[in-house]
Every structure is written in structure tokens, then in C-alpha cells.
Amino acid sequence: MRAPLSWLRALTPLSAEAGDRSSVVELASELDSLGLVVERTEWVGEGLSDVVLARVLEVAPIKGADRIRRVVVDRGGGETTEVVCGAWNFEAGDVVVLAPVGSVLPGDFRMERRKMKGVVSNGMLCSGRELRLSEDHEGILVLARPGSEAPHVPGFTLGTPLSDHLGMSLDVVFDLAIEPNRPDCLSMLGIARDLAAHYGLPLHTPEPRVTEGERPAVDLATIEIDAPELCQRLLGRVLTGIRPAPSPLVVQRRLILAGMRPINHVVDASNYVMLELGQPNHPYDLALLGGGGLRVRAAHPGETIVTLDGATRILGGRERRDDDLLAGLDGLICSANDVPVGIAGVMGGHSSEISEGTGQVLLEVARFSALAVGRTSRHVGLRTEASIRFERGVDPEGMERAADRFCELVVDAAVAAGVEPPVVARGLVEANPRPFERTNLTLRPPRVNALLGLSLSAEQMMDLLRPIGYEITDTREGADGGTRPADGAGVEQVPVIVPSFRPDVTREVDVIEDVARTYGYRRIPKSDRRSPYVGKLDELQRLRRRVRRVLAGLGAHEAWTSSIVDPAEQQLAGVTRSLIPLSNPMVAEESVMRGGLLAGLLTALRHNAGHRNPWIRLFEVGDVFGLAGGFELVTAPEEGERVALVLARQNDDAGAAVNAWRVVADAVGLEGIEVTQDSDGTENLGGLHRARSGLLVVASPDTLAGVPHEPGELAPGTVLGAVGEVDPDVLAAFGVPHDRVGWLELHLDRLVGAPRRAELARPVSRYPSSDIDLAFSVDESVPARQVEAVIRTAAGDLCERLELFDVYRGAGVPEGRRSLAFRLRLVALDRTLTDAEVAEVRRRCVDSVQAALPATLR
């Protein structure tokens, strides 16, 4: 909302002046504090008050100069001034603009007395460009020429400052962001009202005076409302004998500053009324309205209309629903002959537009349903100054004033332009099927203080509310105004009547906000309220933080990729679950919710490889989404938090990923989670190299026997993630240049329930330990972890550590087998192990492995 300071000052005597910068800055800051946020402050029309109108009396050549001439001008009051001028586009009798010595032109250019070719120049005749009025610099600005005075520039008073002549004094325009709950401030009057209340100034609400003609309006036009749910009230004014005329300069100037283009005095008056009072309205060329009247009804499905902007709009196309009375209903304004002439509250029709030839005007001032206008506006994709105002709520009690103000402006414009004014027909044409009633609320002053942390008296609150339009019975009188408690300590309840222009105020708390706002948010004392709780992170939050740091410690950078992704890329990355599509995506490449993190991280990897940083590790923590399986008709979305690590340093592969997993498990204290490669959990291995990847699952109780741990809530076999390598075809599909890329993905939200390392400390032996190295030749079909498990069981309690330290294939090991060398460290808590004991354990281990597995000791 663009609000010129001069317009606001016409409604309330603000002390701020455009010429006083600090007063303007102060006003802008107060507007902010009222919630009318100033997004920009513009100064306009600088330098126009120093230059004056002058008439050329004499033009004479200067001896020895062929490009400049001596000019004598009459600057009013019998004074003449002599200047030297280099322009040739004027002659004696012309009205021109003189910048006298001492004046300052735009751009801080000060006029000095100068001497040229022996002639003293006491100023300058100005061009349009020098005054920043136009781009014209071909010659000086000639305002009028004898006999051809422009009709819209009535009379010249020589010596008048140009700013006064044009009605263009230095001005300021505030560009305000008006919150949706303050439709009243989509008008100069509303803004002025808040300012007047804030500064304690009087508010000069326009009280238009209309001299009506003899003929009653009802004889000239009819108004009918068929759909009161779309239009609660419609009133009309009829003007006859319209002659085309331009608006007075001050009206034009204000419209321009507020961001609208002056057109003619009828259209300008309509726009002016909307800007000044906030009431959108529409003038029709009555002669072009078939049947001489208006009718509001719901549009039929598919009905079309050509709007003022020349576009064809289709209405009534939405689906109707039983539970919503307004669904599918677009308000249409028709002529009495049922020809569409406007979209209710949005835009008028092309067919009855005001033109040069318009002689009779029917002005429509309506109260349309906010909901209906909002829906229609969105549906036809047309937001207008009118629809924005109707959607938020227009003052139902301001309709007559708006209609009269329009008539007054049209008549005044004609008078100012020197044409015969139109006749305003007597009375209104009106349909009012749903009369407006004001909202009555009860305000409890103690509640106000309790909510705001203030201790205002009821009377103070009333003094804050009255200037912004609330009606309150005087509480000092007691009686029916407020009810006092028996002890007379304070007023417990005050009935308030909400101003008609505040549709947002529907309950007590809205009134409390107005008290706070007018009192000043910044004046409300800050208090220190402390939480009674001890703050802490929950287990998942702690775990998430730790995992993040461990991964960063492994050299990985944290990435953040979008959760809205390309379904084709998800498929390429092996996501097989049902993805959740967006019903209103912006582009096809961002149209589903990601089902996994692989695609995003590979894309990030490609980006970095493309910038010559291929050897990196990246990780991401974030939610992934899918549709819950099942046969129900209503599908439910599933959302889970994952963390994924992509390992793409030189030599990174599945092995690096397994070791990364071991570091994470160790650092986080996970125990009893196995890497299994025999499962066919296709969903969890999507996009991965099947032969070099496995699932992370909660181990069975058998496997965990003897391993000190705290079992979690998760059932054995629960999948916690996957580890391994990305499928080389997937790498190629994503344009990742690496041969091998390691991958680790964890269901972060499941880790909380995973088995953990035992909390109780285990004692450390003081006695020397003994190492046994055992190398077995093991069939390729047997995973090393199986051999390890057998050794661990066989070694029993004496096993302090068991580690695979060498894998060998080649000479000395039969085909189809490989050598796996384990180092077993034995120790007892209470003694040094004897050689015999160590040998016994060794024998047990060897026997168990050879008996249980296709393996032989080497």
C-alpha cells in the first residue's frame, strides 16, 4: 500500500513534513511500531518550489553570439528579469519556467548570476529534464502559448512556484506492508486513523456533500441480488449529464503517487474513493447496461466474461460440494438483461466500460462475501486491488460515504475543468438482503492485564480503544457500562462494540491485541520467566549428534540434499518402495518425496567430481518417505530418519565402508549388530552392489550369548541399515567417475532401540596374556564371521580379543578355499595361564572349527 504523506496530512494534521527528513524518519518508525511496516520511504518532487512561472516579454540577439539570446521575462508583481538563454523553441508571450538566482534545481544545482558575451544572466529558463519532470531537453519547458492554453492548466499566476502550480510539492510516499488482519489500513483513512489515535490528533473523515437532482435514481436503474450468500448488499448511485474531463491535478497527483494511472474524472474518482476510503466500487456506463440495471447471481458453470483487461474469464468451473455452501459459486454481476458485466469483487466487464462517450453512470458499491471473492479470485487467477480488499473485509458501514464521495469528486472535477457538472440522481438504488450488524464483545480488564503483563485501569484501556473506533459505554458511570465487583477494586467486564471496519476482531483476545498495539508493544515491560524443567536432549538427539561427529571424524563432510526429488533418479538409485508424489509439484524433476538418500549424495558427489574434487566422503542425516504397504483404501505415509555415508576417497570400497561401520558402532556403543550377506532384503540393498554389500541386522540371542550387552527393544533380525558398495551401474547412471564407492546407511530412528554395549564395567586382568595365531584353510562358501563365531565360542571366557589379521588366496591353499588367519588373545582374571591351559584352548578351537565347518588348520 503506497501512502503519500500529503494525502495522510489531508486526513489528520501530522507534524511530519516532507522537507524535514528527520520528521519523516520518525513517522516511518511510528508506523512500524503500529504494525504498518514501512518497506520503503520515497521522496518525490524535489526542487520544484524554487522555480516560478514567468511570461516571455522580449527576445533579443546578443552582438557577437549566434547561439544564445537575451530574454526578458515577467515574473509577476511587475518584476522583470533578464536572462541569457540558448534555447530557440519559444517566443514572446509564452509562459515558461524561470529558475532565479539563488534557486536550487534538482541535483543540488544552485543558480548564480553569470555574465555571457557582456550580458548579465540573472537565472535560467528550465527544460523538462532540468526539472526532472520529463526527459525533454530539446528546448525549455513551454507551459502555455497565447491562444492555445491547454484546457487542463487553468489560469497562470506569474511568479507562482511551479510546485504550487502543478500541485506537486515535495512529498513522501510510504510503501506499507499491511497485514491481512488489517483491511481497514488498505485505505488512507485507516492509516490516518491509526496515526491520529497514536499521536492524539483529530481525524478528518471525509463527509461528502452531494447536491441531488430532481429525478429519483430508482427511475433510472434497478438493482437486484439473487445470491445473498455472495453479495450481502449492493447500492447504486446514478449520475447523468457526464462530460468527459480530466481530474484536478491534485487528484491525478495523488493517484500517481499511490501507484495508479489517471484516466478520466469518472474512473479516477472511483479509484480515488477506493484508495481513500478502502471501498472498491465500479462505475458502469449506464447506457451500455442492457435493461438499465444490475443483478448479482452465481455464475453458471462455464459461463464466460471479457474483463476490463480484455481477457476472457471462465467462471463457475469448480466442483460443488454438499458440505460447503460456497464451493463452486463465483459471484457474477449481470445487467438487468442477464448479460455478464463484471466478476463480483474482482473486475468489471469490458462491455460497459466508461469511455469518452459515456453520458450516464451507474456506480456500484457492494458488500461481497469475503470468502467468495477470495475463492473466485484464486480460481480465475486474478488478484486485483478490489479483490484484495473484499477478500480481507470492507467496512459495511462505509458504503454510503463511498458512494457520495464518488459523486462529489466527479462533480468537483467537472467544475474544476470548467465543464458543466453532471446531475446526481436523487437517492440510492439498493438491495440489502443481509443487513450488517456490529460485533458486541465483552472485555475483561483483569484478563487484559494478565495476558499482557500490564496493570492498566479499565479507563486507560478504553482511552486506547476509543480513538481506533471502539464504542464503549462510559465505565466511569458504572451503571450499564461496566460491572464493578462489590469492593469496587476495578472493572471486571466492559461491553465493547467493535468498529464496523474491523472484521478481524471477533473475540476478546483480538481486542486485547488492540490494547497492546495502541499502548505500544515496546512499552510493555520485559519479564523473565524461567522454565521449571531441566533441559536435556533425548536419546535419539544425543545419538544423532554423536553419529554426526563420528562421521565427520572419518573425514566426511555433511551434505544437505533436497527431500523433494526426481522419481526417475530415485528409480535409478534403486529405490523400489512406493514413493509419495506431490499433487502440486513445481517441476517434474522435483515431484516425489525421496525414498532414500543415495540419489542425493551421488548427485553431490558428481557435482564435486565435476569441480575436480572427486576424492571425498559425504554424509547426510535426514528423513526419507514412502507409502505404507497394505491393502487398505487409505494409504498412509511413512517417514523415517536415516543417516548415510558415501565413501569416495581413493581406495574407498566396501571394506572402507565396513570399517566405517565398525567405528560408528564402537563410538556409539552398539553391540550385537551383524553384517549379513545371505539375506535377500532387496528393499534395503537397492542401488548397492549385491555381492559386496550386506544388511546390518540385530543378531539373534544365540549369536549374542556370552557377549556382554544390553538388549534393546528391537527384535532379532530387525534391519538397522546397509553397508557395502554402490552398484557400479548406478555410479555410471549418475555420472560418478569412480570405480568403487563405499556406502553405509543407518536407520537413525531405530538405533535407539538397538542392543548396546553393557553399561557395567568389566574388570581388566592384571596377569599376562597369551596370543594364539590360528590359520585355517576355509571353503569360500563360509563367511569369515562364521569361523570367528566358532572360535569365540570354543575359547569361552578366556578370550580377551579375537581378530582376523590375514586373508590369503594362492599357492599353498587349495582352489575354492582361502586362508583366514585369526589372532586369539587369552587371559584369565585371577592367574597367569599355564602353557597347558593355552594349548588346551588352542586344541578346542581347532577341533571345533574343523568339526563344524569345511575348514582345515594350515
Partner 1 sequence: MTDRMAGEDQPFTSAELGEIEAEARAAIEAASSLPALDAAERDALGKRSRFSGLYRELGRISPDGRKSAGQVLHELRRRLEDMADSRRAELEAVERAERMAADHLDLSEVLPGELAGHLHLVTEVREQLEDVFVGMGYEIAEGPEVETDWYNFQALNIPLDHPARSSVDTFFLELAGSEDARYLLRTHTSPVQIHLLERGELPIYAVVPGRVYRRDTPDATHLPVFHQLEGLVIDHGITFGDLAGTIDTFVHAIFGEQVSTRLRPAYFPFTEPSAEFEMTCQICGGSGCRTCSMTGWIELGGCGMVHPAVLEATGVDPEEWTGFAFGFGVDRLAIMRHGISDMRAFVENDVRFLRQFA
Q: Which of residues 658-717 bind partner 1 (CB under 8 A)?
A: none
Whichever of 389 and 817 has its CB closer to partner 1, that residue is 389
Count other Cβ atoms within 10 Å, centred on residue 635. 13
> Does residue 279 contact residue 273 with C-beta atoms inside 8 Å?
yes
How many CA atoms, within 13 angstroms, populate the side-chain half-sphere of residue 67?
Answer: 3
**Shortest Å distance, C-beta 623 to partner 1:** 6
Quick one: which segment of 334-342, 555-563, 677-685, 768-776 binds partner 1 (CB under 8 A)?
555-563
Asked if residue 616 binds partner 1 (CB under 8 A), the reply is: yes
Asked if residue 560 binds partner 1 (CB under 8 A), the reply is: yes
d(CA 110, CA 123): 10
Specify the pairing of strand 114-116 against strand 592-593: unpaired
Q: Which of 22, 148, 312, 584 binds partner 1 (CB under 8 A)?
A: 584
Q: Which of 242, 425, 618, 820 binds partner 1 (CB under 8 A)?
A: 618
Quick one: which segment of 127-135, 290-298, 513-521, 838-846 binds partner 1 (CB under 8 A)?
513-521
Asked if residue 527 binds partner 1 (CB under 8 A), the reply is: yes
Quick one: which segment of 34-42, 120-128, 274-282, 461-469 binds partner 1 (CB under 8 A)?
34-42
Asked if residue 546 binds partner 1 (CB under 8 A), the reply is: no
DSSP string, 340-407: EEEETTTEEBSTT---TT---EEEEEEEE-HHHHHHHHHHHT---HHHHHHHH---GGGHHHHHHHHH
> Does residue 816 contact residue 856 with C-beta atoms inside 8 Å?
no
Q: Which residue's C-alpha cell is 550387552?
A: 709
In 3D space, the residue among 331, 346, 335, 333 whose CA is nearest the CA of residue 386 turns out to be: 346
Asked if residue 630 binds partner 1 (CB under 8 A), the reply is: no
Q: Which of 200, 207, 209, 634 binds partner 1 (CB under 8 A)?
A: 634
**Shortest Å distance, C-beta 57 to partner 1:** 48
Measure Cα distances from 293 to 84, 217, 284, 336, 692 in Å: 63, 11, 10, 5, 82
Q: Which of 254, 617, 692, 842 binds partner 1 (CB under 8 A)?
A: 617
Residues 6+ apart with CB under 8 A from 587: none
Residues 6+ apart with CB under 8 A from 815: none
Asked if residue 531 binds partner 1 (CB under 8 A), the reply is: yes
**Shortest Å distance, C-beta 549 to partner 1:** 8
Whichever of 177 and 839 has its CB closer to partner 1, that residue is 177
Residues 6+ apart with CB under 8 A from 601: 559, 561, 618, 619, 620, 644, 646
**Shortest Å distance, C-beta 449 to partner 1:** 9
Per-residue x/- mask for partner 1, residues 721 to 750, rule CB under 8 A?
A: ------------------------------
Site for partner 1 in 12-31 (CB under 8 A): 25, 29
**Shortest Å distance, C-beta 731 to partner 1:** 17
**Shortest Å distance, C-beta 738 to partner 1:** 15
What are 81's strand-pairing partners? Answer: 73
List phi, psi (to 5°) of 288. -95, -5
d(CA 508, CA 497): 11
Asked if residue 805 binds partner 1 (CB under 8 A), the reply is: no
Asked if residue 555 binds partner 1 (CB under 8 A), the reply is: yes
Measure Cα distances from 628 to 578, 579, 631, 634, 791 in Å: 8, 10, 10, 10, 42
For residue 182, what is its C-alpha cell? 488489517
Asked if residue 766 binds partner 1 (CB under 8 A), the reply is: no
For residue 156, what is its C-alpha cell? 497562470
Whichever of 582 and 707 has its CB closer to partner 1, that residue is 582
Site for partner 1 in 73-132 (CB under 8 A): none
d(CA 667, CA 665): 6
Q: Which of 222, 264, 608, 777 binds partner 1 (CB under 8 A)?
A: 608
Asked if residue 633 binds partner 1 (CB under 8 A), the reply is: yes
Asked if residue 135 binds partner 1 (CB under 8 A), the reply is: no
Site for partner 1 in 198-257 (CB under 8 A): none
> Does residue 463 contact residue 496 with C-beta atoms inside 8 Å?
no
Site for partner 1 in 355-414 (CB under 8 A): 370-371, 374-375, 378
**Shortest Å distance, C-beta 582 to partner 1:** 5
Site for partner 1 in 144-203 (CB under 8 A): 179-182
Site for partner 1 in 452-511 (CB under 8 A): 452-454, 507, 509-510
**Shortest Å distance, C-beta 378 to partner 1:** 6
Q: Which of 530, 630, 680, 760 binds partner 1 (CB under 8 A)?
A: 530
Q: Which of 486, 489, 534, 764 binds partner 1 (CB under 8 A)?
A: 534
In 3D space, the residue among 640, 780, 667, 685 whose CA is nearest the CA of residue 675 turns out to be: 685
Per-residue x/- mask for partner 1, residues 323 to 352, rule CB under 8 A?
A: ------------------------------
Asked if residue 639 binds partner 1 (CB under 8 A), the reply is: yes
Q: Which stretches of 678-724 are DSSP H helices?
A: 701-704
What are 648's strand-pairing partners? Answer: 616
Asked if residue 760 binds partner 1 (CB under 8 A), the reply is: no
Q: Which of 13, 26, 40, 829 binds partner 1 (CB under 8 A)?
A: 40
Specify the pairing of strand 142-144 against strand 95-100: antiparallel
Quick one: which segment of 128-136, 243-251, 579-587, 830-838 binds partner 1 (CB under 8 A)?
579-587
Asked if residue 322 binds partner 1 (CB under 8 A), the reply is: no
Residues 6+ apart with CB under 8 A from 559: 600, 601, 604, 618, 619, 620
Whichever of 63 and 536 has its CB closer to partner 1, that residue is 536
**Shortest Å distance, C-beta 686 to partner 1:** 21
**Shortest Å distance, C-beta 604 to partner 1:** 4
What are 52's strand-pairing partners? Answer: 98, 161
**Shortest Å distance, C-beta 688 to partner 1:** 21
**Shortest Å distance, C-beta 400 to partner 1:** 28
Q: How many residues bind partner 1 (CB under 8 A)?
A: 95
In 3D space, the residue among 444, 578, 584, 569 whose CA is nearest the CA of residue 511 turns out to be: 444
Whichever of 269 and 621 has its CB closer to partner 1, that residue is 621
Q: Furthest-apart CA pair in the chain: how many Å?
A: 134
- Look at residue 663 and give its three-state secondary structure: helix
Q: Which of 8, 18, 34, 85 binds partner 1 (CB under 8 A)?
A: 34
